[in-house]
């Protein structure tokens, strides 16, 4: 459990840094510029989209109203601290 606790502490610290940047009106940087092609994984229990890109899973705000199969190519973009997925 020590490894899990360490990972959770690191994630919490990173989130606090992001929130501080928001408070200071600094732009949060995404992991890429522009739009990229990712692979659809699923909708989570809260309705957020999960997209995989470069072996990393991103929580996205889906822009689309059709059902997708896992592995379908989707466009993923980053704007003002939010990842978006569309198809």
Paired with 83 in beta bridges are 78
pLDDT of residue 1 exceeding 70: no
Computed over every residue of the chain, the mean pLDDT equals 88
Please, are residues 76 and 38 in contact by the beta-carbon 8 Å criterion? yes
The answer, yes or no, to whether residue 2 has pLDDT greater than 80, is yes
Question: Which pLDDT belongs to residue 15?
Answer: 85
Cα 85 from chain centre: 9
């Amino acid at each position: 459990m020590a490894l899990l606790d360490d990972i959770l502490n690191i994630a919490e610290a990173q989130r606090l840094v992001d929130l501080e940047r928001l408070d200071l009106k600094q732009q949060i940087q995404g992991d890429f510029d522009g739009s990229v092609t990712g692979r659809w994984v699923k909708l989570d229990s809260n309705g957020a989209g999960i997209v995989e890109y470069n072996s990393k899973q991103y929580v996205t705000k889906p822009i689309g109203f059709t059902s997708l199969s896992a592995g379908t190519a989707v466009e993923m973009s980053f704007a003002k601290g939010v990842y978006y997925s569309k198809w």
